[in-house]
Amino acid sequence: DQAIQAASARHPIVPLERGQLYRYGTAGFRMKADLLEGVTFRVGLLASLRSRKLNSQAIGVMVTASHNPAVDNGVKIVDPMGEMLEQDWERYATALVNAPSDAELVDIYNRLATDLKIDTKIPAKVIYGRDTRPSGHKLVTALADALDATRTEHVDYKLLTTPQLHYLVRATNSEGTPLSYGKVSEVGYYEKLAEAFVRAVRGRRISGTLQVDCANGVGGPKLSEFLKYIPKDKVGLDARVVNDDVLRPEVLNLDCGADYVKTKQRAPPAHQAKPGVRCCSLDGDADRLMYYWEDPESGFFMLDGDRISSLAASFIGDLVTSAGLRDDLRIGVVQTAYANGASTNYITQHLKLPVVCTPTGVKHLHHVAQGYDIGVYFEANGHGTVLFSPDALNSFKTKEPQSPAQKDALDTLAALGDLVNQTVGDAISDMLLVEVILAHKNWTLRDWAMTYSDLPNRLVRVEVGNKDLFHTTDAERRLSHPDGAQEEIDEAVKKFKDARSFARASGTENACRVYAEAATRTEANELADRVARIVE
Ligand code: NG1
Ligand code: ZN
């Protein structure tokens, strides 16, 4: 108790304005970095409890604020299989972080240990990493102090992309078991991806240049490192890494990166790609991905998370059919309310695959995707992955092929099982998946874009007095509170053709978001404005 209390005194918590509480949200704790030192210390205490609760398995802690500005930072916990922290534990994080004094912090820590029947004498292990933000160093020092005070073994992996840390957590906990996820090192991650990529491309070549905008974040150096593991003479992949300046913190996510591309619907101005060149953008911690190109005739065109999702579902669905497994494996696609209606129609009507809608936040999508043998999930913003069940992975390896085509499909599926990060959305791994699919289909981005036409849409951020007044139902597609608001939104939607609109409180910002789509751009804009006025 004394060790924790003394260490906590070195990393004080800053009271928030107007008595507000810190909250473990969709992305863990995320805010201005100068508020986070005490928060990160306390997250360290919870990570040690979590490890002890789960029989000393390794728990991960990632320090990042993803696509947010360089002055922000964030901290979140990763569970043993590389998944997000179990939802029940989010309130324990909130309780610890809001303890008003060092002494009360120790009380809450001890109470949690007692209530959750945790033996604080058994070993605990925590591994952690951070993105390139300058504040990251100080935060991991606070984290390490908490781990020392609780006698927790810890490994500092220093700079990592978020998905690399998730990989390492799973690899650590599965090491030496039949379900080993790969070597427990950053190199192990590169080797696993590179080997699976070569196997998946097999017999084809990645054509043309791929320009990758790395948001001036940790993805830049990590992607460059990864590329060293690719035998270019064998598979191609002429990747040109741009916006990879990690020495000037102020340029992180500035006018570049996946979030910029998605929200501004334009290519980052620096390193403007030549017309026709295939481009993609990662976000600041390399877990989101956007594809796009400048068309000489029609201008900028973006392929977002919905497009990646439908591309992956289409390709994998066809492979499963060719492999003769269509009757054995259940394939499903998981989206949120932000998915473009045209993508949902394409997946259900053209691909004939089921689509489930969940609330925002990848933990919800991930959870539902786990219910399928092959669960494809992406948020429109480019965060997502494809999950393969143990049964699915097993059948790719053990089914006896009846023809060369069937063998080819099975081999490709097995390679995808290793290529696609099974723990969390991973921009580098997803990018390789897209490159594999385009090579197999012999498609350009224009071919990919031709699969369906997006409904015009608009997303607006609305400042409101108190966002907590907004409650939703039906996977966030309807407001249950304030009274009467949903009826007004319904009235507004009725006035437009093929229209849909909803409003919800953001889980990461102090505001509401309004989404609208309709048959034309003008109508989508007008509907969004009307609903924004209702919410205001
Ligand atoms: P909020 O702020 O709850 O809308 C945003 C994104 C989510 C998700 C989280 C976590 C949109 C509309 N919302 O959530 O998709 O990625 O951040 O980063 O893009
Ligand atoms: Zn991110």
Please give the CATH topology (third level) of the domain spanning 457-535. TATA-Binding Protein (3.30.310)
| Ligand in closest contact with the CA of 26 | 1
Q: How many CB atoms lie within 10 A of CB 31?
A: 21
Q: Where are the domains of the chain?
A: 2-159, 188-302, 305-449, 457-535
Task: Return the CATH architecture of domain 2-159.
Answer: 3-Layer(aba) Sandwich (3.40)
- As a CATH number, domain 188-302 is 3.40.120.10
Cα–Cα dist 127/59, whole Å: 6
**C-alpha 263 to ligand 1 mean position (Å):** 12
Cα–chain center distance at 355: 19
Predicted local distance difference test score (pLDDT) of residue 510: 84
Return the pLDDT at 88. Answer: 94
Residue with CA at minimum distance from ligand 1 atom 3: 507
Position 137 scores a pLDDT of: 97
Q: Against a cut of 0.90, is the pTM above it?
A: yes
Q: How many Cβ atoms are within 10 Å of 176's Cβ, its own excluded?
A: 6
Concatenating the DSSP letter of every residue in 95-144 gives HHHT-SSHHHHHHHHHHHHHHTT--TTS--EEEEEE-S-TTHHHHHHHHH
Say what the pLDDT of residue 271 is: 87
Q: In a structure prediction context, what are the per-residue pLDDT tens digits for the chain, which is 536 residues long?
A: 999 999 999 999 999 988 899 999 888 999 999 999 999 999 999 999 999 999 999 999 999 999 999 999 999 999 999 999 999 999 999 999 999 999 999 999 999 999 999 999 999 999 999 999 999 999 999 999 999 999 999 999 999 999 999 999 999 999 999 999 999 999 999 999 999 999 999 999 999 999 999 999 999 999 999 999 999 999 999 999 999 999 999 999 999 999 999 989 999 999 888 898 999 999 999 999 999 999 999 999 999 999 999 999 999 999 999 999 999 999 999 999 999 999 999 999 999 999 999 999 999 999 999 999 999 999 999 999 999 999 999 999 999 999 999 999 999 999 999 999 999 999 999 999 999 999 999 999 999 999 999 999 999 999 998 999 999 999 999 999 999 999 999 999 999 999 999 999 998 888 999 999 999 999 999 999 999 999 99
**Within 6 Å (CB) of ligand 1, which residues are found?**
26-27, 66, 338, 360-361, 379, 381, 383, 506-509, 513
Listed in sequence order, the residues at least 6 apart from 508 whose beta carbon sits closer than 8 Å to its beta carbon are 25, 26, 27, 30
User: Whose Cα sits closest to atom 16 in ligand 1?
Assistant: 361
3-state secondary structure of 47: helix
pLDDT of residue 508: 80
CATH number of 305-449: 3.40.120.10
HEC states along 236-257?
Answer: EEEEEEECCCCCCHHHCCCCCC
Using alpha carbons, select from 172, 139, 170, 10 the residue that is nearest to residue 63: 139
Catalytic center residues:
66
| Distance, CA of 92 to CA of 116 (rounded, Å) | 10
- Using CA atoms, how far apart are residues 242 and 216, in angstroms rounded to an integer? 8
Cβ-based neighbours of 393, under 8 Å, separated by 6 or more: 414, 417
Question: 316 near 308, Cβ under 8 Å?
Answer: no
Residue 298 annotated as binding site: no
Distance of alpha carbon 45 from alpha carbon 111, whole angstroms: 13
CA 471 – ligand 1 centroid, Å: 16
Q: In the prediction, which pLDDT does 194 show?
A: 98
**What is the CA 394 to chain-centroid distance, rounded?**
26
Separation of alpha carbons 413 and 436, rounded Å: 11
Taking a C-beta distance cutoff of 8 angstroms, is the pair 380, 306 a contact? yes
> Rounded to whole angstroms, how far apart are CA atoms 200 and 409?
10
Same fold, 188-302 and 305-449: yes
Positive/negative CA dihedral, 63, 67, 70, 71: negative
The tally of CA atoms less than 13 A away on the side-chain side of residue 157 is 26
